[in-house]
Amino acid sequence: MKAALCIAMAGALGALARWGIVRWCDSTRGDGAFPLGILVANVGGCFLFGWFFGYLENRPGISDAVKLALFSGFLGSLTTFSTFGWNTFDLVRNGQPLLALSNVGLSLFAGLGAVWGGYALGR
């Protein structure tokens, strides 16, 4: 229960951070402009995921609840793209570049296909 509460609270903060980043970055853009805010949230979240993971990887004493709150809660809510980026990087890091490439290709094309399919069904 403690872990779930930590994830939920950190997730709320991550969602608010994403909303604030997007609102701040896109406050002056017109319709049809490049979605800079979500790009900043995604790339920033990827950087933070890598930095925190690298920093915490060999440091004892950080509780699982804190790690869950940070990675699954805050960063997972800030951007799920950071988890995708980490999973792909981890595959490359562990000598599985073909699986990493498959993850990128499948996520991109299946994701776009799912958006198209969901949109078509919703109309």
Q: What was the pLDDT predicted at 32?
A: 65
**Global pTM?**
0.77
Q: What was the pLDDT predicted at 57?
A: 83
Extract the runs of DSSP E, i.e. beta strands, from 1-123: none
pLDDT digits (tens, 9 = 90+) for 3-51: 899 999 999 999 999 999 989 988 877 666 777 888 899 999 989 999 9
Give the domain ranges of the chain.
Answer: 1-79, 80-123
Distance of CA 95 to CAs 14, 75, 81, 88, Å?
31, 25, 21, 11
Distance of CA 69 to CAs 35, 54, 77, 91, 121, Å?
27, 16, 10, 23, 35
pLDDT digits (tens, 9 = 90+) for 60-99: 888 888 899 999 999 999 987 887 888 899 999 999 999 9
